[in-house]
Each structure stands twice: as structure tokens, then as C-alpha cells.
Amino acid sequence: MSMDLSKASFRGYRRDNGRVGVRNHVIILPVDDLSNAAAQAVENNIKGTMALPHPYGRLQFGADLDLHFRTLIGTGSSPNVAAVVVICIESGWAKKVADGIAATGKPVAYFGIEQHGDHDTILRASKAAKEFVQWASELRREERPLKDLWVSTKCGESDTTSGCGANPTVGNAFDKLYPHGTTLVFGETTELTGGEHLVAARCRTDAVRQKFQFMFDRYQQVIERHKTSDLMDSQPTKGNIEGGLTTIE
């Protein structure tokens, strides 16, 4: 059965930079793993916040550190995020991330533990988070066209049903949304291995095809540099095997 989406819309939160989110989170964002405990303490103190702990931020240099900062700034810049409290051991790093997020126009506060200690940082960050939650609770959804929607997909740990159920369903949804201007994103570039030619064949122009192939080849080179060309330690995963798969590309 065909579906007419020409007049379809969704209700979302329009941000100052024009992006539209379907969530309205106030996040507590630690820059390094040493700040995880403080971020989680703020989450425990203030209902309606979400801490995002992670194991990164130390002993990273050069391009690796730059990628870390871009990832944090990108997380805070998501249109699904209304406001951000950034916490870090070093105030300078906290400011770097906060400034990047603030460029989107959303409210951001940052705190450095080194200068003030855990207790004072948690107290001040909790106060800022409380104000952000109050502010965010007053925001209202508005009707928006599908061209303002961004949809991201994530691997759901493949099993024997993925190829005949979930994967075609997601692909079908993408095919229906794309003509209406929806931005469609996927991660885990290596998951395309063996099927990259199918995606390349569907690229609208040669320029887009070349850009796609460049990014795919570049990711393969990253894998080779890290000596994981056979992926034996991670592919298939325990979950894949329990789901009935014996082999994965």
C-alpha cells in the first residue's frame, strides 16, 4: 500500500539555529571521565536532566583529541538538546566545549572542578541545571514539515531476522522520507562492507558518488592502520552469535 507523505508533518522544538528536535533534553555533559561522577551527581539532584558519562578525555592528543571535542560539541548541539551544563576537570576545556555548543544559540553553562572542587562544582552546576530545566519546560512544540526532520539509525545487533525484517523496513522508511527532504543518517560505516556498491549506484550525481566512495575508502584505511582488517575480535559479536549468525561481513 502506497503512502502519501506530501502533506505530512511532525511536532518538534525549533532551535535558534533553525534545526528542529523531537526531544527537549537538558544534558549534563562531562568533558573527561574524571568528571563523570560530578555530572551524575547533578543528574541525581535535578529531575529532568540527563548525564552522559563516557570513558574518554584523557591521554588523547592531536587528531584524536580534536575528534573528541567535535563529538562532545556535536552532542550538545543536537536539536534534541534544549540546554547543556558542561563539567570538566580543567576549566579551559569546559569553556572550549561550551563555546562550541553556544554557537548554536542554546543556553550553556560550564564548570571546572580543578578550581572549585567537587562539592562546589556540583552545587553550582545543579543550580544552573535547575534553571535550564525550568526554562526548557516552557518551550512548546510546533508543527514542522518533514524537510526539517533528521532521522538517524543505529545497528540493533543483527540476528537471523534482520535481513528479512528490520533492515528492509528501515530502508523502506528511508526511501519514503527522502523525497520529502528529510535528512537521513547512519553510523558504523563498516557495516556497508560488501554492499557499498549498492549505495554508490543510488547516488544522485557523480559528485555525490565520489564523495561517498571517498568516505567509505577512508574508513577502510583507518581499519587497516589499526590492524583490524579481519575484525575477528569484534565481528560477529556475542549477541550476533546468540541471535543465530555464524558469519558477518
> Strands (DSSP E) along 18-60, which ranges?
20-21, 25-30, 49-51
More confident residue, 164 or 136: 136
Instruction: Please tell me the predicted confidence (pLDDT) of residue 2.
Output: 64
Q: What's the average model confidence in pLDDT over 163-171?
A: 88
Lowest-confidence region among 8-12, 85-89, 172-176: 172-176
Bond into 145 cis (ω within 30): no
State the Cα–Cα distance between residues 34 and 197, nearest whole angstrom. 43
pLDDT tens for each residue of 34-90: 999 999 999 999 999 999 999 999 999 999 999 999 999 999 999 999 999 999 999
Confidence at residue 140, expressed as pLDDT on a 0 to 100 scale: 98
pLDDT in tens, 76-134: 999 999 999 999 999 999 999 999 999 999 999 999 999 899 999 999 999 999 999 99
pLDDT recorded at residue 172: 92
CB burial readout 152-161, b (16+ within 10 A) else e: ebeeeebbee
pLDDT of residue 156: 72
**Lookup: cell for 78:** 543536537
Correct CATH for 19-137 of 1.10.287.70, 3.40.50.2300, 3.40.50.11400, 3.40.50.1700: 3.40.50.11400
Residue 105: which region, alpha, beta or left (left: phi > 0; alpha: psi -120 to 50)?
left
**249 band by pLDDT with thresholds 50, 70 and 90:** low
Percentage above 70 pLDDT, the chain: 95
Share of the chain above pLDDT 90, in %: 69
CATH 3.40.50.11400 intervals, the chain: 19-137
Backbone torsion region of residue 128, taken as left when φ is above 0, otherwise alpha when ψ lies between -120 and 50, otherwise beta: alpha
Q: Which residue has the cell 544534558?
A: 27
| Residue the block writes with cell 548541539 | 77
- Counting Cβ atoms within 10 Å, is residue 40 exposed (0-12), middle (13-18) or buried (19+)? middle
More confident residue, 20 or 191: 20
Give alpha helix (H) positions in 46-112.
62-77, 91-102
Q: Alpha-carbon distance 63 to 178, whole Å?
A: 33
> And the C-alpha cell for 113?
572542578
pTM of the predicted protein model: 0.86
Q: Return d(Cα 29, Cα 34) in angstroms, integer.
A: 12
Binned at pLDDT 50, 70 and 90, residue 234 comes out as low
β-bridge mates for residue 185, sequence order: 152
| First vs last C-alpha separation in the chain | 33
Cα separation, 179 vs 5, in Å, equals 9
Structure confidence at residue 242 (pLDDT):
84
